[in-house]
Amino acid sequence: MAGDETKGTAAEMSAATLSQWQLVRRAFARHKVAMASVFVLVILYLLAIFAEFFAPYRSDYYDLPRVYSPPQVPRLSLKHGFHTYAPVKHIHPITQQVDYTLDRNNVVSLGFFVKGTPYKLWGMIPGDRHFFGVSNPDGLPLSGLPTFYLLGADKYGRDIYSRIVYGSRISLSIGLVAIVVTFILGATIGGISGYMGGSVDVLIQRVIEIMNSLPRLPLWMALGAAVPPDWSPLKMYFAMTILLAFLGWTGLARVVRGKLLSLREEDYAVAAKLLGAGHGRIIFRHLLPGFTSHIIVCLTLAIPGMVLGETSLSFLGLGLREPVVSWGVLLQDCVNKQVVVDYPWMLMPAVFLILLVLSCNFVGDGLRDAADPYSSN
Protein backbone atom coordinates (compact mmCIF):
# COMPACT_ATOMS: atom_id res chain seq x y z
CA MET A 1 0.00 0.00 0.00
CA ALA A 2 2.82 2.35 0.83
CA GLY A 3 4.36 1.68 -2.57
CA ASP A 4 1.09 2.50 -4.35
CA GLU A 5 0.74 5.71 -2.39
CA THR A 6 4.32 6.64 -3.27
CA LYS A 7 3.69 5.99 -6.95
CA GLY A 8 0.47 8.01 -6.83
CA THR A 9 2.21 10.90 -5.12
CA ALA A 10 5.04 10.80 -7.66
CA ALA A 11 2.55 10.80 -10.54
CA GLU A 12 0.72 13.78 -9.06
CA MET A 13 3.97 15.68 -8.59
CA SER A 14 5.01 14.85 -12.15
CA ALA A 15 1.66 16.08 -13.52
CA ALA A 16 1.94 19.25 -11.48
CA THR A 17 5.22 20.14 -13.20
CA LEU A 18 3.82 19.75 -16.71
CA SER A 19 2.36 22.57 -18.75
CA GLN A 20 -1.27 22.54 -19.88
CA TRP A 21 -0.37 21.47 -23.43
CA GLN A 22 1.84 18.65 -22.13
CA LEU A 23 -1.01 17.40 -19.97
CA VAL A 24 -3.43 17.61 -22.90
CA ARG A 25 -1.01 15.71 -25.14
CA ARG A 26 -0.46 13.00 -22.52
CA ALA A 27 -4.19 12.59 -21.89
CA PHE A 28 -4.92 12.50 -25.62
CA ALA A 29 -2.27 9.81 -26.19
CA ARG A 30 -4.18 7.50 -23.84
CA HIS A 31 -7.27 7.75 -26.07
CA LYS A 32 -6.56 4.81 -28.41
CA VAL A 33 -9.47 5.37 -30.79
CA ALA A 34 -8.55 9.05 -31.17
CA MET A 35 -4.91 8.17 -31.88
CA ALA A 36 -6.00 5.66 -34.55
CA SER A 37 -8.26 8.35 -36.03
CA VAL A 38 -5.31 10.77 -36.20
CA PHE A 39 -3.43 8.13 -38.19
CA VAL A 40 -6.39 7.82 -40.61
CA LEU A 41 -6.62 11.60 -41.01
CA VAL A 42 -2.89 11.83 -41.71
CA ILE A 43 -3.26 9.24 -44.48
CA LEU A 44 -6.23 11.07 -46.01
CA TYR A 45 -4.47 14.41 -46.01
CA LEU A 46 -1.27 12.89 -47.41
CA LEU A 47 -3.34 11.44 -50.26
CA ALA A 48 -4.80 14.88 -50.86
CA ILE A 49 -1.46 16.71 -50.75
CA PHE A 50 0.39 14.24 -53.01
CA ALA A 51 -2.59 13.22 -55.14
CA GLU A 52 -0.59 13.06 -58.38
CA PHE A 53 1.84 10.58 -56.83
CA PHE A 54 -0.69 8.33 -55.06
CA ALA A 55 -3.23 8.22 -57.91
CA PRO A 56 -2.40 5.61 -60.58
CA TYR A 57 -4.02 7.76 -63.28
CA ARG A 58 -4.92 11.38 -63.90
CA SER A 59 -8.40 12.44 -62.88
CA ASP A 60 -9.37 12.96 -66.55
CA TYR A 61 -7.95 9.64 -67.78
CA TYR A 62 -10.63 7.45 -69.35
CA ASP A 63 -10.87 4.13 -71.15
CA LEU A 64 -14.25 3.81 -72.86
CA PRO A 65 -13.98 0.05 -73.52
CA ARG A 66 -13.78 -0.45 -69.73
CA VAL A 67 -16.92 1.42 -68.64
CA TYR A 68 -18.21 0.27 -65.25
CA SER A 69 -15.28 -2.12 -64.86
CA PRO A 70 -15.49 -3.79 -61.42
CA PRO A 71 -12.78 -3.42 -58.77
CA GLN A 72 -9.67 -5.52 -59.36
CA VAL A 73 -8.43 -7.11 -56.15
CA PRO A 74 -4.61 -7.19 -55.86
CA ARG A 75 -3.21 -10.65 -55.21
CA LEU A 76 0.13 -12.03 -54.09
CA SER A 77 1.61 -15.37 -55.15
CA LEU A 78 5.03 -16.97 -55.50
CA LYS A 79 4.52 -17.51 -59.23
CA HIS A 80 3.25 -14.10 -60.31
CA GLY A 81 4.24 -11.91 -57.37
CA PHE A 82 2.04 -8.85 -56.79
CA HIS A 83 -0.62 -9.10 -59.49
CA THR A 84 -4.28 -9.10 -60.46
CA TYR A 85 -6.36 -10.62 -63.24
CA ALA A 86 -7.67 -8.68 -66.23
CA PRO A 87 -11.46 -8.51 -66.52
CA VAL A 88 -13.18 -9.54 -69.74
CA LYS A 89 -16.17 -7.47 -70.85
CA HIS A 90 -19.48 -9.05 -71.81
CA ILE A 91 -22.58 -7.26 -73.14
CA HIS A 92 -25.95 -8.96 -72.93
CA PRO A 93 -27.36 -9.14 -76.48
CA ILE A 94 -30.90 -8.15 -75.40
CA THR A 95 -30.64 -5.92 -72.33
CA GLN A 96 -27.23 -4.46 -73.29
CA GLN A 97 -26.22 -4.94 -69.64
CA VAL A 98 -22.44 -4.72 -69.18
CA ASP A 99 -20.84 -7.53 -67.20
CA TYR A 100 -17.27 -8.63 -66.53
CA THR A 101 -15.53 -11.91 -65.72
CA LEU A 102 -11.95 -12.45 -64.63
CA ASP A 103 -9.56 -13.97 -67.13
CA ARG A 104 -7.29 -16.19 -65.05
CA ASN A 105 -4.93 -16.58 -67.98
CA ASN A 106 -4.38 -12.82 -68.35
CA VAL A 107 -2.20 -11.78 -65.41
CA VAL A 108 -1.57 -8.06 -64.82
CA SER A 109 1.68 -7.48 -62.93
CA LEU A 110 1.55 -4.76 -60.27
CA GLY A 111 4.25 -2.93 -58.39
CA PHE A 112 5.14 0.04 -56.23
CA PHE A 113 6.86 3.22 -57.39
CA VAL A 114 6.15 2.33 -61.01
CA LYS A 115 6.40 4.56 -64.04
CA GLY A 116 3.06 5.79 -65.29
CA THR A 117 1.37 8.77 -66.87
CA PRO A 118 3.47 11.95 -66.52
CA TYR A 119 2.21 14.63 -64.16
CA LYS A 120 3.22 17.83 -62.44
CA LEU A 121 3.04 17.71 -58.68
CA TRP A 122 1.10 20.80 -57.49
CA GLY A 123 1.35 21.97 -61.10
CA MET A 124 5.08 22.67 -60.72
CA ILE A 125 7.24 19.56 -60.18
CA PRO A 126 7.26 17.14 -63.15
CA GLY A 127 7.28 13.41 -62.49
CA ASP A 128 6.09 10.06 -63.76
CA ARG A 129 6.44 7.81 -60.70
CA HIS A 130 3.29 6.58 -58.99
CA PHE A 131 2.98 4.92 -55.61
CA PHE A 132 1.51 1.78 -57.14
CA GLY A 133 0.14 0.66 -60.45
CA VAL A 134 0.78 -1.64 -63.39
CA SER A 135 4.40 -2.80 -63.51
CA ASN A 136 6.25 -2.17 -66.74
CA PRO A 137 9.67 -3.87 -66.51
CA ASP A 138 10.01 -4.14 -70.30
CA GLY A 139 9.52 -0.41 -70.88
CA LEU A 140 6.45 -0.83 -73.08
CA PRO A 141 4.53 2.27 -74.25
CA LEU A 142 2.00 3.43 -71.68
CA SER A 143 -0.80 3.10 -74.21
CA GLY A 144 -0.07 -0.62 -74.52
CA LEU A 145 -0.24 -1.39 -70.79
CA PRO A 146 -3.34 -3.03 -69.28
CA THR A 147 -5.43 -0.89 -66.96
CA PHE A 148 -5.77 -1.53 -63.24
CA TYR A 149 -8.84 -0.20 -61.46
CA LEU A 150 -8.50 -0.77 -57.72
CA LEU A 151 -12.01 0.51 -56.91
CA GLY A 152 -13.57 0.02 -60.33
CA ALA A 153 -14.42 2.46 -63.12
CA ASP A 154 -17.31 4.82 -63.82
CA LYS A 155 -19.53 5.30 -66.87
CA TYR A 156 -16.65 6.79 -68.88
CA GLY A 157 -14.07 4.18 -67.88
CA ARG A 158 -12.34 6.54 -65.43
CA ASP A 159 -10.52 5.11 -62.42
CA ILE A 160 -12.68 5.78 -59.35
CA TYR A 161 -9.78 5.47 -56.90
CA SER A 162 -7.71 8.07 -58.76
CA ARG A 163 -10.68 10.43 -58.89
CA ILE A 164 -11.33 9.93 -55.17
CA VAL A 165 -7.71 10.83 -54.42
CA TYR A 166 -7.90 13.95 -56.57
CA GLY A 167 -11.30 14.78 -55.13
CA SER A 168 -9.95 14.59 -51.57
CA ARG A 169 -7.75 17.58 -52.36
CA ILE A 170 -10.81 19.72 -53.08
CA SER A 171 -13.12 18.37 -50.36
CA LEU A 172 -10.56 18.36 -47.56
CA SER A 173 -9.11 21.75 -48.45
CA ILE A 174 -12.57 23.31 -48.48
CA GLY A 175 -13.03 22.02 -44.93
CA LEU A 176 -9.73 23.51 -43.76
CA VAL A 177 -10.16 26.88 -45.49
CA ALA A 178 -13.74 27.18 -44.23
CA ILE A 179 -12.55 26.38 -40.70
CA VAL A 180 -9.96 29.18 -40.89
CA VAL A 181 -12.68 31.66 -41.90
CA THR A 182 -14.96 30.22 -39.21
CA PHE A 183 -12.26 30.70 -36.58
CA ILE A 184 -11.69 34.33 -37.57
CA LEU A 185 -15.40 35.16 -37.55
CA GLY A 186 -16.29 33.10 -34.48
CA ALA A 187 -13.36 34.25 -32.35
CA THR A 188 -13.77 37.91 -33.30
CA ILE A 189 -17.55 38.21 -33.03
CA GLY A 190 -17.80 35.90 -30.01
CA GLY A 191 -14.92 37.71 -28.32
CA ILE A 192 -16.56 41.11 -28.81
CA SER A 193 -19.89 39.75 -27.56
CA GLY A 194 -18.48 38.20 -24.39
CA TYR A 195 -16.02 40.96 -23.58
CA MET A 196 -18.18 44.00 -24.25
CA GLY A 197 -21.45 42.65 -22.85
CA GLY A 198 -24.48 44.88 -22.54
CA SER A 199 -26.44 45.90 -25.61
CA VAL A 200 -23.62 44.73 -27.93
CA ASP A 201 -23.85 41.22 -26.49
CA VAL A 202 -27.65 41.21 -26.75
CA LEU A 203 -27.57 42.32 -30.40
CA ILE A 204 -24.96 39.75 -31.42
CA GLN A 205 -26.75 36.91 -29.62
CA ARG A 206 -30.07 37.75 -31.28
CA VAL A 207 -28.36 37.67 -34.68
CA ILE A 208 -26.83 34.28 -33.83
CA GLU A 209 -30.20 32.94 -32.69
CA ILE A 210 -31.85 34.07 -35.93
CA MET A 211 -29.12 32.38 -38.01
CA ASN A 212 -29.37 29.17 -35.98
CA SER A 213 -33.14 29.10 -36.37
CA LEU A 214 -32.87 28.92 -40.15
CA PRO A 215 -32.82 25.35 -41.59
CA ARG A 216 -29.23 24.77 -42.65
CA LEU A 217 -29.54 22.60 -45.77
CA PRO A 218 -32.37 24.59 -47.47
CA LEU A 219 -30.45 27.79 -46.78
CA TRP A 220 -27.30 26.27 -48.28
CA MET A 221 -29.32 25.22 -51.30
CA ALA A 222 -30.84 28.68 -51.72
CA LEU A 223 -27.48 30.44 -51.48
CA GLY A 224 -25.84 27.83 -53.69
CA ALA A 225 -28.51 28.29 -56.34
CA ALA A 226 -27.87 32.04 -56.25
CA VAL A 227 -24.28 31.53 -57.38
CA PRO A 228 -24.01 32.15 -61.16
CA PRO A 229 -23.56 28.80 -62.96
CA ASP A 230 -21.06 30.30 -65.43
CA TRP A 231 -18.49 31.07 -62.73
CA SER A 232 -15.06 29.53 -63.12
CA PRO A 233 -14.12 26.56 -60.89
CA LEU A 234 -11.84 28.80 -58.80
CA LYS A 235 -14.62 31.33 -58.14
CA MET A 236 -17.04 28.51 -57.32
CA TYR A 237 -14.48 27.00 -54.92
CA PHE A 238 -14.11 30.20 -52.92
CA ALA A 239 -17.86 30.86 -53.07
CA MET A 240 -18.50 27.45 -51.51
CA THR A 241 -15.86 28.09 -48.85
CA ILE A 242 -17.31 31.48 -47.87
CA LEU A 243 -20.85 30.11 -47.95
CA LEU A 244 -20.03 27.23 -45.58
CA ALA A 245 -17.99 29.45 -43.24
CA PHE A 246 -20.63 32.19 -43.16
CA LEU A 247 -23.20 29.76 -41.76
CA GLY A 248 -20.82 27.82 -39.50
CA TRP A 249 -19.25 30.41 -37.21
CA THR A 250 -22.15 30.77 -34.77
CA GLY A 251 -21.30 27.69 -32.68
CA LEU A 252 -17.72 28.80 -32.10
CA ALA A 253 -18.87 32.35 -31.34
CA ARG A 254 -21.09 31.10 -28.55
CA VAL A 255 -18.30 29.02 -27.05
CA VAL A 256 -15.93 32.00 -27.10
CA ARG A 257 -18.60 34.30 -25.69
CA GLY A 258 -19.38 31.96 -22.79
CA LYS A 259 -15.71 31.57 -21.87
CA LEU A 260 -14.99 35.29 -22.02
CA LEU A 261 -17.95 36.08 -19.79
CA SER A 262 -16.29 34.04 -17.05
CA LEU A 263 -12.72 35.22 -17.72
CA ARG A 264 -13.09 38.95 -18.34
CA GLU A 265 -13.25 39.72 -14.58
CA GLU A 266 -10.15 37.67 -13.75
CA ASP A 267 -7.28 39.51 -12.09
CA TYR A 268 -4.94 39.28 -15.09
CA ALA A 269 -7.59 40.72 -17.42
CA VAL A 270 -8.38 43.59 -15.05
CA ALA A 271 -4.65 44.25 -14.59
CA ALA A 272 -4.12 44.40 -18.35
CA LYS A 273 -6.98 46.89 -18.66
CA LEU A 274 -5.54 49.07 -15.87
CA LEU A 275 -2.16 49.06 -17.59
CA GLY A 276 -3.77 50.60 -20.65
CA ALA A 277 -4.07 47.52 -22.91
CA GLY A 278 -6.62 47.88 -25.70
CA HIS A 279 -9.72 45.72 -25.98
CA GLY A 280 -8.31 43.77 -28.92
CA ARG A 281 -5.08 42.99 -27.10
CA ILE A 282 -6.92 41.86 -23.97
CA ILE A 283 -9.22 39.57 -25.97
CA PHE A 284 -6.69 37.99 -28.33
CA ARG A 285 -3.51 38.15 -26.24
CA HIS A 286 -4.75 37.44 -22.71
CA LEU A 287 -8.21 35.82 -22.78
CA LEU A 288 -8.41 33.60 -25.89
CA PRO A 289 -5.16 31.70 -25.18
CA GLY A 290 -6.67 30.59 -21.87
CA PHE A 291 -9.08 28.21 -23.58
CA THR A 292 -7.33 27.47 -26.88
CA SER A 293 -7.86 23.74 -26.37
CA HIS A 294 -11.64 24.23 -26.29
CA ILE A 295 -11.48 26.24 -29.52
CA ILE A 296 -9.46 23.47 -31.19
CA VAL A 297 -12.07 20.93 -30.11
CA CYS A 298 -14.89 23.02 -31.63
CA LEU A 299 -13.00 23.50 -34.88
CA THR A 300 -12.13 19.80 -35.13
CA LEU A 301 -15.75 18.82 -34.69
CA ALA A 302 -16.81 21.43 -37.27
CA ILE A 303 -14.60 20.11 -40.11
CA PRO A 304 -16.92 17.18 -40.99
CA GLY A 305 -19.86 19.57 -41.20
CA MET A 306 -18.00 21.72 -43.72
CA VAL A 307 -17.04 18.74 -45.88
CA LEU A 308 -20.57 17.32 -45.69
CA GLY A 309 -21.96 20.72 -46.69
CA GLU A 310 -19.79 20.84 -49.82
CA THR A 311 -20.61 17.21 -50.63
CA SER A 312 -24.35 17.78 -50.23
CA LEU A 313 -24.43 20.87 -52.44
CA SER A 314 -22.21 19.30 -55.11
CA PHE A 315 -24.28 16.10 -55.03
CA LEU A 316 -27.44 18.16 -55.63
CA GLY A 317 -25.78 20.05 -58.49
CA LEU A 318 -25.70 23.37 -56.61
CA GLY A 319 -22.02 23.37 -55.69
CA LEU A 320 -18.90 22.35 -57.57
CA ARG A 321 -19.42 20.91 -61.05
CA GLU A 322 -17.47 19.01 -63.65
CA PRO A 323 -14.62 19.19 -64.62
CA VAL A 324 -13.83 19.91 -60.94
CA VAL A 325 -13.39 16.65 -59.03
CA SER A 326 -14.64 16.45 -55.45
CA TRP A 327 -16.34 13.74 -53.42
CA GLY A 328 -19.71 15.43 -53.91
CA VAL A 329 -19.20 15.64 -57.68
CA LEU A 330 -18.27 11.95 -57.79
CA LEU A 331 -21.43 11.01 -55.91
CA GLN A 332 -23.57 12.71 -58.56
CA ASP A 333 -23.33 9.48 -60.54
CA CYS A 334 -25.24 7.75 -57.74
CA VAL A 335 -28.40 9.80 -58.24
CA ASN A 336 -29.73 7.00 -60.43
CA LYS A 337 -30.78 4.16 -58.12
CA GLN A 338 -30.28 1.54 -60.82
CA VAL A 339 -26.63 2.54 -61.20
CA VAL A 340 -26.06 1.94 -57.48
CA VAL A 341 -27.82 -1.44 -57.67
CA ASP A 342 -25.84 -2.63 -60.70
CA TYR A 343 -22.50 -0.99 -59.87
CA PRO A 344 -22.24 -0.59 -56.07
CA TRP A 345 -18.59 0.46 -56.25
CA MET A 346 -19.79 3.87 -57.44
CA LEU A 347 -20.54 4.57 -53.76
CA MET A 348 -16.86 4.31 -52.77
CA PRO A 349 -16.52 8.12 -52.35
CA ALA A 350 -19.16 7.87 -49.62
CA VAL A 351 -16.97 5.32 -47.79
CA PHE A 352 -14.09 7.81 -47.70
CA LEU A 353 -16.48 10.53 -46.56
CA ILE A 354 -17.79 8.36 -43.71
CA LEU A 355 -14.22 7.52 -42.74
CA LEU A 356 -13.34 11.22 -42.59
CA VAL A 357 -16.41 12.16 -40.53
CA LEU A 358 -15.88 9.35 -38.01
CA SER A 359 -12.17 10.11 -37.67
CA CYS A 360 -12.76 13.83 -37.08
CA ASN A 361 -15.45 13.07 -34.51
CA PHE A 362 -13.24 10.59 -32.65
CA VAL A 363 -10.35 13.06 -32.63
CA GLY A 364 -12.71 15.76 -31.38
CA ASP A 365 -13.94 13.48 -28.60
CA GLY A 366 -10.37 12.69 -27.60
CA LEU A 367 -9.44 16.36 -27.54
CA ARG A 368 -12.55 17.20 -25.55
CA ASP A 369 -11.68 14.58 -22.93
CA ALA A 370 -8.09 15.81 -22.78
CA ALA A 371 -8.91 19.53 -22.80
CA ASP A 372 -9.26 19.58 -18.99
CA PRO A 373 -6.40 17.27 -17.94
CA TYR A 374 -6.34 18.50 -14.35
CA SER A 375 -9.72 16.91 -13.71
CA SER A 376 -8.21 13.41 -13.97
CA ASN A 377 -5.01 14.05 -12.02
Give residue-wise pLDDT tens across range 21-51. Answer: 677 778 778 888 889 999 999 999 999 999 9
Tell me the pLDDT tens digit for each residue of 123-180. Answer: 888 888 889 888 876 666 666 678 889 898 988 889 999 999 999 998 888 888 888 8
Q: Residue 240: which pLDDT band, with cuts at 50, 70 and 90?
A: confident
Cβ-Cβ contacts under 8 Å for 223 (sequence gap 6 or more): 243
What digits encode the pLDDT tens for the residues 188-235? 888 888 878 788 888 988 988 888 888 877 777 777 777 777 788 778
pLDDT score, position 15: 52
**Secondary structure class of 121 (helix, strand, coil):** strand
| Residue from 104, 100, 46 nearest 75 by CA | 104
For the stretch 74-115, pLDDT in tens is 888 888 888 888 888 888 777 777 788 888 888 888 888 888
Nearest alpha carbon to residue 191 among 243, 242, 249, 247: 249
273 vs 183, which has greater pLDDT? Answer: 183
Is residue 3 pLDDT above 60, yes or no? no
Cβ burial 14-31 (10 Å sphere, 16+ → b, else e): ebeeeeeeebbeebbeeb
- 305 exposure class (CB count in 10 Å sphere: 0-12, 13-18, 19+): buried
- pLDDT band at 16; cut points 50, 70, 90: low
pTM of the model: 0.83
Tell me how far apart the alpha carbons of residues 164 and 141 are, in angstroms, rounded to a whole number: 26
Q: For residue 347, give the nearest of 148, 142, 154 by alpha carbon.
A: 154
For the chain, how far is it from start to end, CA to CA, in angstroms?
19
Burial, 314: exposed, middle or buried (Cβ in 10 Å; 0-12, 13-18, 19+)? buried
Write out pLDDT tens, residues 284-321: 777 777 677 777 777 887 888 888 888 888 887 777 88
Domains of the chain: 63-158 (no CATH), 165-376 (1.10.3720.10)
